[in-house]
Amino acid sequence: MKTPLGNVRGLGSAHAGTGHFWLQRLTAVANIVLVTAFLIIVVSIAGSGHAEIVAKLSNPFVAILILAAFLSVLTHMRIGMQVIIEDYVHTEIRKIALLMANTFYTIAVGLIAVYAILKINFGL
């Protein structure tokens, strides 16, 4: 004789749902601050010349702020797209392919952003 809980124990999710839920909420809150700061930086350098923009982005505080914004937005995007793919794509092969593409796309955009900011910051 098993209880209803005993019948379903171990058959649920991979126990990562709560972590994804909280990471999604954490990045959403971080994005409010980071994207606002990013927009302030972009507006402050709008219309400036190349030298002024490079000088502004060479500031370590500005570079770290922009990198944090990119990484937070990319993490938030990847988790959000993962949830959409898992909920609405029903073919297993297509779901796996899309989840892989989502991860690779996020990594590629993140690497490009990190490279560009570091290149400007260190004057390479």
Domains of the chain: 17-122 (1.20.1300.10)
Q: What percent of the chain has pLDDT over 90?
A: 71
Distance (Å, rounded) from C-alpha 71 to C-alpha 91? Answer: 30
- For 14, phi then psi, to 5°, come to -80, 15
More confident residue, 11 or 116: 116
Predicted TM-score (pTM) of the model is 0.81
How does the average pLDDT of the chain come out, rounded?
A: 89
For residue 57, what is the DSSP state? H
